[in-house]
Amino acid sequence: MPMSATISRTNVILFPRNNLYRGENAMQVDCKECGGKAIIQSRKKLDVKMSQLYCSCRDPSCGHSFVMDLSFSHTLSPSGRQAQGMVIDFLRALPEQERQMMFASL
């Protein structure tokens, strides 16, 4: 038997893909039929701001499965990645004289 075949990796745990959303920490939403908790089984990304969530109720007597839409609403605090672009746009919008006065005050 080759040496590589006898090595086992005990520090790696593989979870079946279909069980990713079934644990206690699974994301949940309210079931509109019974009011209980429903698990988000999967997500279909439609674009950057819109996804469809495929859900199923955890209550076996209900068993409702449904699709919910998840959409981006608005920003509360802009990303730090946007700061440089915002400053450049602001400076470009200023009249030349005001821009020079601002740089002089730095």
Model confidence at 2: pLDDT above 70: no
pLDDT score recorded for residue 105: 87
Residue 9 to residues 1, 16, 20: CA-CA distances in angstroms?
17, 17, 22
Structural domain of residue 30, as residue ranges?
14-74
Same domain (yes/no): 69, 56: yes
pLDDT score recorded for residue 85: 84
9 lies in a domain?
no
Same domain (yes/no): 56, 33: yes
28 lies in a domain?
yes
The string of DSSP codes covering 10-70 is TT--PPPGGGTT-STT--EEE-TTTSSEEEEEEEEEEETTEEEEEEEES-TTT--EEEEEE
SS3 state of residue 97: helix
Q: What's the pTM?
A: 0.56
18 lies in a domain?
yes
| Token pair of 22 as six digits | 């079934």
Model confidence at 31: pLDDT above 80: yes
